[in-house]
Amino acid sequence: MSYSTLALTLIFLVIPLVLSKALHLDLEKDTIIATFRSIIQLLAVGFILKFVFSSDSLFYTLLMILLMIFTATLNARKKGQPIHGITWKLLLTFFVVEIVTLSILLGFHIVPATAQYIIPLSGMSIGSSMILCILFLNRFISEVASSKEQIELILSLGGTPKQAVHHQLLAAIKTSMLPTIEAQKTIGLVQLPGMMSGQIIAGADPIQAVQFQLLILFMLLSTTAISSALLGFLSYPTLFNKHMQMIKN
């Protein structure tokens, strides 16, 4: 695709701008900003990846992974401000997800140990983990806020912090995992996923594209489970003090 052809795709931008204006949604500015940010960010990443792939350097590959992890942490921590130490909890979660993912992919020789495979797969894994963490934090904080009296009652009756927030914790973990599970139930029937579609458009064999897409799906399902469960069990203890009393925010 040439840059002139790419420029023509901006026609798609007209539709949301017209609808926003007609319905008085006041989203024109945000839409334009989002569009130009995506263009600049993706082109910049494209040039960076071209350099990293050509150098095939382990240092640059690790640097890219670290950049993705820190960026995901900065974005997700905004949703977890009521939870003390949320930054390091998110960092640990993303690092564990990345280590488990790469250990399986490279340890079993599922993909070659090259930047061309490691960086895109790491990006999908960390990006999915970030979204899951945001979903979990939103639901968990909401669940705890709406159940304070119930939680304090359990504590007053001698229950432990884990027992007091058990229901809220499991509900948040389940809620954050459901979108990924439900999406996989209809994949291939309702939509062709991005990875598979991209490979087919590029001329790859459809069966080969399906195999890679299945790899992504299984990887993201594991990412979902690890992210929600790990962040959940790291987060709930910080809602209580050493006397097993709920901390007032």
User: Residue ranges per domain, the chain?
Assistant: 1-55, 57-239
pTM for this predicted structure: 0.84
Question: Does the pLDDT at position 198 exceed 90?
Answer: no
d(CA 107, CA 105): 6
d(CA 53, CA 74): 26
Q: Check residue 7 and give its pLDDT.
A: 81
Question: Does the pLDDT at position 194 exceed 80?
Answer: no
Radius of gyration over every alpha carbon of the chain, rounded to an integer in angstroms: 21
Q: Check residue 57 and give its pLDDT.
A: 86
Q: What mean pLDDT value characterizes the chain? A: 88
d(CA 218, CA 189): 17
